[in-house]
Structure 1
Amino acid sequence: MAVYDLEEQEQISELKAWWAQYGNFVVTLAVVAALASVGWQGWNWYQNRNAADAGVLYYAVQQAAEQQDAQKAREAAGRLIGEHGGSVSAQLGALLSAALQFESGDLANARAQLEWAADKGKDAALRDLARLRLAAVLLQQGEHDAALARLEAAPSAAYKTRFDDLRGDVLAAQGKKAEARAAWQAAIDGLAAEGEEAATLREVVRVKLESLGV
């Protein structure tokens, strides 16, 4: 029993010596770990709160769009972009509001929101969609070179045929028939691979192609 007590005391002495040397370091690590855990939980709370707030504003844009209230949609989308510009909700809100501005004839505000969505939006596919719609607005405004510039970079495969179609529209507006024909033919070829779902658009592009004549 005495031997056991002696060994135990030696272990306690070693532990005390170890703690005297490394105790502060261990405490510091424990504090840092605790702070990191609290910080992570706080960050998650902040992220969830931001996502919820962005969702509320996007819903406001949706409601305004359903009511065909272009001003309310524009204001809600503006707040969404200003307060939650890094969210996909902001990109979607800008696209939805821009569509309403376009329908109401406000090309300037449609263009502004599409430029933001195309240049600063988070999601790459939505940036392509914004570029496509922005090029359509620029075509309406008669800015043909600017429209072509927006269509220049290759989009994702999902939007390629739509880019070709709109490129043909812009080139035809510029009187460049051969280039327009090539763009529309590329669109028709791409749409053929999409099956019956794209049949209507394929027919529209075919009519535009035939309108160029020989």
Structure 2
Amino acid sequence: MVIHSSEEEQVEALKAWWAENGRSAIFGVVLGLGAIFGYRAWQAHEVAQAEAASALYQQVLMASQQPGSDEIRRQAEALVQQYPGSTYAVFGNMLLAKAAVDAGDLEKAATLLGTALKENKDDVVGLELRLRMAQVQSAQDKHEDALATLSIASGKDYLAAFDELRGDIEGRRGNVDQARAAYERALTAAREAGTDVTILELKLDNLGRAQKS
């Protein structure tokens, strides 16, 4: 590195540097400012997109209060198509899957839930999706697939629901001991969470009567 001994030499060095690098320096500043303003524009766009998606999702929820209406399907499809990969699109696919189940189209419901699972980025929503997917798979008599879907470690709030469904599946397969064990785990988790256990107690009671008969 050259050390300049006088102010004149420093000025001359600066002039030489500017002559050689001035344009690229200006270009770099312009690029830097462009990046800043570009990022801000991108942020504003993202906020606008999120607000629009939220508004559309509210319309979907309002439509869902009218059972049997085609409006919920149209709105949910618009949500998925206009905001792919977003959390709102995941919710849209969940609603479309429910509509497919109500229409008896389990294959379509499984496909929609599979798409939602791939696009989902939220752990809690992921647990709800796995629960619904396992319910659909069990209804399709794909019990092994359903149990595999439930095999992921569940969050505390889903322990009872996951084990209750495991009990249902094992009961359908005729595995009484496994069903009872799952129901008992679900019962313990539900009591610890302070949720109603009436249905679980009935399932355990019915399981005992079925075994005796």
Aligned to 1:4: none
Call closer, same or farther: CA 1:102–1:9 in 2, change over 3 Å: same
Match status 1:148 vs 2:143: no
Aligned to 2:187: 188
Aligned to 1:110: 109
Match status 1:207 vs 2:206: no
TM-score by length of 2: 0.82
Cα RMSD (Å): 2.4
Q: Which has the higher helix share?
A: 1
Q: Give yes or no for contact 1:98–1:110 (8 Å, CA) kept in 2.
A: yes
CA distance in 2, matches of 1:107, 1:84: 25
Match status 1:65 vs 2:64: yes
CA distance in 2, matches of 1:80, 1:149: 30
Q: Give yes or no for contact 1:188–1:206 (8 Å, CA) kept in 2.
A: yes
Aligned partner letter, 2:32: A
Residues matched between the structures, number: 204
Q: Deviations over 1:42-69 (max 9, x none)?
A: 2113212321332233223212201224
Aligned to 1:95: 94
Secondary structure of the 1:211 match is: helix
TM-score by length of 1: 0.82
Identity rate of aligned residues, in percent? Answer: 33
Q: Deviations over 1:58-95 (max 9, x none)?
A: 22321220122453322322232233222111122222
Q: Give yes or no for contact 1:101–1:110 (8 Å, CA) kept in 2.
A: yes
- Give unpaired runs (5+ residues) of structure 2: 1-5
Aligned partner letter, 2:95: L
Secondary structure of the 2:70 match is: helix
Q: Deviations over 1:141-184 (max 9, x none)?
A: 33222222221222222212210110110110111101111111
Within a 5 Å distance, the mapping from 1:30-109 to structure 2 comes to 30-103=29-102, 105-109=104-108
CA distance in 2, matches of 1:139, 1:156: 21
- Give unpaired runs (5+ residues) of structure 1: 1-6
Aligned to 2:158: 159
Aligned to 1:172: 171
Q: Deviations over 1:2-31 (max 9, x none)?
A: xxxxx9876654442332233233212201
